[in-house]
Structure 1
Amino acid sequence: MQVVDYKAENAGQQFVESLHQTGFGVLINHPIKQEVVESIYRNWYQFFMSEEKHNFAFDPQKQDGFFSSEISETAKGHKQKDIKEYYHVYPWGRIPESLKQEILDYYNLASELAGELLDWVEKYSPVEVAKLYSEPLSNMIKNTPNTLLRVLHYPPLAGDEELGAIRAAAHEDINLLTILPAANEPGLQVQNKDGSWMDVPSDFGNLIINIGDMLQEASGGYFPSTSHRVINPEGTDASKSRISLPLFLHPRSEVVLSERHTQHSYLMERLRELGVI
């Protein structure tokens, strides 16, 4: 997995090659400022520590709002729920007033960068792969209501967790690309082709990008949606919270991904598998 300098001349080519080889890419010197991310982590940590979060309980129809650890996801093929709680941020959704401006500014900034990264992916896709895209990749996310920013809180481990449960069991993402600033604690791992697990460089300031199932589908498998997980911390780290901020880039509902699927049909299939609808 390459760490690519966003400002380097051949950044796009290096980045897309890393995505093709591993399903992951790591950017440094990118436009998302570390102090912005740190401020979001601090402010949302306070929110997760407060009782206010229960006033924003998730809407099963719209899928916005606060998801408690009791209703957290169970990864496909796993029995134990992940040890996490989270909040789904959509520009049209409910957001606590005191947190709204900062998180929506971040949503817009990260979405803009994501559009540029999709242009890189298209530019450096082999001709026969680029022919498969039903429209320009960055166009697929224009005016989309579906892109999701998830603010995740992995609480400190109490020692009474269900046997076999981890912070996020091995899974693939559903969307086109996921944009993730390095979390405030390590733990993210990606699976290699030989089945072994590799730590994703989690230096603060790194921006981690991975392929989701929808881009794998749209590229005929050229870009692999790679399995990844968040493992439990050990020793003194077990007493620390972990905050994470993935932006899941989703096309508009009607966008054609392949002969088999639109964005909407693919999303519904996967959400049913996850047990969240």
Structure 2
Amino acid sequence: MQVQVVDYTAKEAAEKFVKSLHETGFGVLINHPIKQGLVESIYQSWQAFFLSEEKHAFAFDPERQDGYFSTEISETAKGHSQKDIKEYYHVYPWGRIPAQLEAEILEYYRLTSELAAELLDWVEAHSPADVACKYSQALSLMIKDTPNTLLRILHYPPLTGSEEAGAVRAAAHEDINLLTILPAANEPGLQVQDQDGQWMDVPSDFGNLIINIGDMLQEASAGYFPSTSHRVINPTGKGSDKSRISLPLFLHPRSEVVLSENHTQASYLLERLRELGVKA
């Protein structure tokens, strides 16, 4: 099992990329259309935001799930008892965004959403016929005009040594959505679990774009595309005093989209948010 690094501009890119998603739940793109300068600028401006007191004016709304989530109310991964060591901000185009950060982050949201639709077309084109027939509609149509796609700006603060025993930056988990689009973070730490239960570093050179399957696509494909466990481990040595910024885009269908005989997007999401302890 090996996560493949695929040149987005190569003739065989779609086939190789989807093969990696099927075999590992992950794929990595290089020479993709998301400009590194935009990503670096977002890292810098949101790092400053997380270090400011302004973030508290945007405390999250339990109903809308937008805004700022502090380390005190951070997620507890399914099956774990300690909260992750992170704070984060949920961006939706219809949600609250600090004025000085809005234009740039919404441009990133637009560009990555457009790329994600193309990648879903790749997935569908290279799904076996007996898998593709299970999709209730074209995968890229599932996200057309969706209000549900979530951009999360994550800040993993430097470690102080006073963290709860066993707590990590992001405990092993699977994502809820269809696909997750993630530019490599400004610090390493992302790992994926292989079929033998071993943890492997995801190729995370700065500039790489990391894509992984979420539970909703696993559900829609009847397991052909696996939602693979992954985690962000705590740094050691000098790396422990550095922040880590990450920008995952969680691609969600519209609420009414049928994923399987058991779930729509809305029913599946509600079930998982309750498991995470962020919704009653």
Q: What interval of TM-score do these two structures reach, taking the shorter chain for normalisation?
A: over 0.9
Within-5 A mapping of 1:1-277: 1-277=3-279
Tell me how far 1:6 sits from its aligned partner.
0.1
For 1:189 and 1:267, locate their aligned partners in 2 and report how far apart those are by CA, in whole Å. 24
Q: Identity of aligned pairs, percent? A: 79
Unmatched runs of 5 consecutive residues or more in structure 1: none
For 2:274 and 2:154, locate their aligned partners in 1 and report how far apart those are by CA, in whole Å. 21
For 1:81 and 1:56, locate their aligned partners in 2 and report how far apart those are by CA, in whole Å. 21
For 1:88 and 1:206, locate their aligned partners in 2 and report how far apart those are by CA, in whole Å. 23
Tell me how far 1:202 sits from its aligned partner.
1.0
RMSD: 0.3
TM-score (norm 1): 1.00
For 1:79 and 1:273, locate their aligned partners in 2 and report how far apart those are by CA, in whole Å. 12
Which stretches of structure 1, 4 residues or longer, exceed 2 Å deviation after superposition? none
The amino acid that maps onto 2:174 is E
For 1:68 and 1:266, locate their aligned partners in 2 and report how far apart those are by CA, in whole Å. 25
The amino acid that maps onto 1:163 is A
Unmatched runs of 5 consecutive residues or more in structure 2: none
The amino acid that maps onto 1:77 is G
Tell me how far 1:270 sits from its aligned partner.
0.6
For 2:132 and 2:254, locate their aligned partners in 1 and report how far apart those are by CA, in whole Å. 19
The amino acid that maps onto 1:173 is D
Deviations 1:206-262 (A, max 9, x none): 000000000000000000000000000000000000000000000000000000000
| Partner secondary structure for residue 105 of structure 1 | helix
The amino acid that maps onto 1:81 is K
For 1:169 and 1:157, locate their aligned partners in 2 and report how far apart those are by CA, in whole Å. 15
For 2:98 and 2:274, locate their aligned partners in 1 and report how far apart those are by CA, in whole Å. 29
